């Protein structure tokens, strides 16, 4: 009997804290990690850098896209053709393009195989917007992380400032709302909790408490395997 490779998915909107929660869980379990959203951001970076047209022929261009993730001094770094683009892919321009191409079925299909290839022993912790609904529907535990918009906006603003981006809070507010609308209303794989997802609202929790609540569900599920 083939042993199951366990997967834990964490879905939710921008600025909700998916990445930091994913890192914390993967570190505790010593499992592999997948930042699926970064794949869309890297693809968006590639498209904007070479001014590519968004038609089906783009798939032939994307075959030349080379990227990889590395943990350097406890920080996830993204390399595009061996060049560190970790900060560049966090601009709002990249965010909006990533959301735009996420609506294109041929790009989603192209990325799907790569995303699933990260499923390896002893297990995988992954985050995104459709990890539990589309990419890993057989995940042992699906978490949908949510919090108030104002908190997400503040986190996103601080993150961009720390990365050296200069952005007006009102502009960011408008763009984040637009990103939410695009993610939640696209025809292909809209952002929504999986039917069997655990909903965690971290509005009134600090990060430590969010991790504790998540690990409580995880350990309970692992005992059942």
Per-residue pLDDT, 102: 87
Q: Give every CB contact of residue 24 below 8 A, 6+ residues apart in sequence.
A: 207, 211
Per-residue pLDDT, 2: 58
Boundaries of domain holding 66: 7-219
pTM of the predicted model as reported, rounded to 2 decimal places: 0.88
The Cα 104–Cα 122 span in angstroms is: 32
Percent helix, percent strand, percent coil in the chain, to nearest 5: 50, 15, 35
pLDDT in tens, 125-153: 999 999 999 999 999 999 999 999 999 99
Per-residue pLDDT, 97: 93
Which tokens go with 176?
């984040």
CA distances from 11 to 1, 151, 191, 194 (A): 30, 17, 8, 9
Q: Counting Cβ atoms within 10 Å, is residue 122 exposed (0-12), middle (13-18) or buried (19+)?
A: exposed
What is the signed CA dihedral for 92, 192, 207, 127, rounded to 10 degrees? -70
Give domain status of residue 1, yes or no.
no
The Cα 147–Cα 141 span in angstroms is: 20
Give domain status of residue 225, yes or no.
no
Give domain status of residue 182, yes or no.
yes
pLDDT in tens, 88-129: 998 889 988 998 998 899 999 999 988 999 999 999 999 999
Give domain status of residue 39, yes or no.
yes
Each of the 225 residues of the chain gets a pLDDT tens digit; together they read 458 899 999 999 989 999 999 999 999 999 999 999 899 999 999 999 999 999 999 999 998 888 888 778 777 889 998 899 998 998 889 988 998 998 899 999 999 988 999 999 999 999 999 999 999 999 999 999 999 999 999 999 998 888 888 889 999 999 999 989 988 998 888 999 999 999 999 999 999 999 999 999 999 999 987
- Look up the CATH number of the domain holding residue 151: 3.40.50.300
Give domain status of residue 60, yes or no.
yes
Per-residue pLDDT, 71: 77
Give domain status of residue 138, yes or no.
yes
Per-residue pLDDT, 1: 43
Give domain status of residue 167, yes or no.
yes
Give domain status of residue 224, yes or no.
no
CA distances from 109 to 38, 99, 181 (A): 16, 15, 22
Which tokens go with 133?
């609904």
**How many domains does the structure of the chain reveal?**
1
Which tokens go with 77?
């770094």
């Amino acid at each position: 009997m083939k042993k199951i490779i366990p997967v834990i998915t964490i879905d939710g909107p921008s600025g909700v804290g998916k990445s930091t929660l994913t890192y914390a869980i993967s570190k505790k379990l010593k499992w592999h990690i997948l930042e699926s959203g970064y794949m869309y951001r890297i693809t968006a970076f590639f498209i904007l850098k070479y001014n590519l047209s968004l038609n089906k022929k783009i798939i032939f261009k994307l075959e030349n896209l080379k990227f990889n993730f590395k943990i350097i001094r406890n920080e996830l770094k993204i390399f595009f053709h061996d060049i560190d683009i970790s900060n560049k892919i966090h601009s709002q321009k990249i965010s909006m393009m990533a959301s735009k191409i996420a609506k294109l079925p041929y790009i989603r299909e192209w990325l799907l195989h790569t995303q699933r290839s990260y499923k390896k022993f002893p297990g995988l912790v992954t985050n995104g917007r459709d990890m539990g609904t589309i990419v890993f529907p057989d995940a042992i535990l699906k978490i949908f992380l949510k919090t108030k918009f104002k908190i997400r906006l503040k986190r996103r603003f601080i993150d961009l400032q720390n990365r050296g981006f200069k952005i007006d809070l009102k502009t960011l507010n408008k763009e984040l709302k637009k990103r939410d609308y695009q993610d939640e209303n696209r025809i292909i794989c809209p952002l929504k909790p999986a039917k069997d997802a655990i909903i965690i609202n971290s509005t009134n929790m600090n990060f430590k408490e969010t991790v504790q609540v998540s690990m409580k569900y995880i350990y309970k599920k692992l005992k059942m395997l």
